[in-house]
Amino acid sequence: MDSGVMTHMGGPMTAEQAKARLEVERTRQTALGISYWPIFHLVSGEHVGCAGLRPFHDEHRVYELGVHIAPKFWGGRFGEEAAHAVIEYAFETLGALVLTAGHGPKNINSKDLLERLGYTFSHEEPWGAQEIMHPFYRLKPEQYRR
């Protein structure tokens, strides 16, 4: 993934860390039907980023939404379009009760996206290897803005 994106996610990964992450995603996809799925530009075929779900702590039928778009595609609404697809999958296919999402403390664009989708602030918690406090938001099906 692009270093500009990784800045908001705790920094770059080593090759070994990236392989381990890919294995986690494969395992989740097989066991739970969720992971972070790649996003490709329909015309050029370029890799735009990824979006998906992961379990949120131990909460039953509560998933965390993640959307990570390469800087070249920022501002093109790829993240918003991907988020809509993932949210609809979570609520309509998985029967999610609630979705959660967080963002880097300085990532205002992600905050704005979550609010446009209907998420509301719920709490802060430490995130990543450095355990930096990140804001988190929650979304119930009735709050979702299509």
Q: Count each helix (H run) and each strand (E run) in the chain, helices first.
A: 4, 6
- The secondary structure of residue 14, as a DSSP letter, is P
Note the pLDDT of residue 103. 94
Q: Where are the beta strands (DSSP E) in 24-142?
A: 36-40, 47-55, 62-69, 98-102, 120-127, 132-139
pTM value is: 0.84
Q: How far apart are CA 62 and CA 94, in angstroms?
A: 10
In order along the chain (146 residues), what is the average pLDDT of each group of 10 residues? Answer: 50 82 85 92 95 93 96 92 97 97 93 97 90 95 92
If we measure between CA atoms, which residue out of 135, 115, 116 comes closest to residue 127?
Answer: 135
Q: State which amino acid sits at residue 100.
A: T
Note the pLDDT of residue 67. 96
